[in-house]
Amino acid sequence: MTNLKTLHFYATPEHDCSYLKDRQAKTLFVDPHAVITKDTYSQLSDLGFRRSGGHIYRPHCKECQACISVRIPTDMFAASKSQKRVLAKNKDLTFRALDPQFTQEYYDLYARYINLRHKDGDMYPPSIDQFTSFLVDGAQETIFFEFRDSDNKLLAIAVCDELEQGLSPIYTFYDPDEEKRSLGTFCILWQIAEAKRRRLQYVYLGYWVRECRKMNYKIMFRPIELLLDGHWVSIT
């Protein structure tokens, strides 16, 4: 088994930044051939690493620290008035916790979401291979949380990894026609509550970039902890 002391890391050459225009970025990857245990993955998450498919990585830019890892402490989290309204709007939804899997129903929802919400992103156009490599392959204690309405219509899938100390959402996709439900916000709120039910301390929301408007939603969950200079700092 691999632990942090024996892990090998590989840095990429500079490439276009995914978050900020006219910026170059470097990425540090964990050896993709290493056998990563749940404990090691959990420790890596506390060091700011994320998983995407079979790859575990974090930004590695020497002259830029714009990408800040953030996490929500579940015991301290308090929903705002607007977040409570989102929960109320979706109290009719039912959920199931399932193993990672490809189904045509899941992919159809995923493709609609990418096509209508992220046509300007690097995940466009969607494909079955992309869905599988991103969300099914490389699974690490991964859960598909499935949300349906009273007519059994699939509205959202929240994909997350269970760590020793928390949940790490990987990706959420939902019905783009259900704007009034604020399903993206709802899925985060639900995962915070689910982590608390599982007696887990944190929900890891990945990277927050102040200058990237698409990431502003992450800072709306308070209190939130930011990984600054190797230390988690709480912001209320």
Domain at 168, CATH number: 3.40.630.30
Does the pLDDT of residue 9 top 80, yes or no? yes
Instruction: Please report whether residue 37 resides in a domain.
Output: no
Q: Give dist(CA 230, CA 210) in Å, integer.
A: 18
Instruction: Count Cβ atoms below 10 Å from residue 116 Cβ, excluding itself.
Output: 11
- For the whole model, what pTM was predicted? 0.96
Residues 38-58: b if buried by 16+ CB within 10 A, e if exposed: eebbbbbbbebbbbebebbbb
Query: Does residue 235 sit within a domain?
Result: no
Q: What range defines the domain where residue 183 resides?
A: 73-216
Q: How many domains does the chain have?
A: 1
42 domain-assigned? no
Q: Which pLDDT score is estimated for 66?
A: 96
Residue 53 maps to a domain: no
Residue 193 lies in a domain: yes
In contact, 37 and 2? CB cutoff 8 Å: yes
pLDDT of residue 178: 97
pLDDT given at position 181: 98
**In a domain? residue 202:** yes
User: Looking at the domain assignment, is residue 171 inside a domain?
Assistant: yes
Residue 46 is assigned to a structural domain of this protein: no
3-state secondary structure of 228: strand
Q: Check residue 1 and give its pLDDT.
A: 57
212 band by pLDDT with thresholds 50, 70 and 90: very high
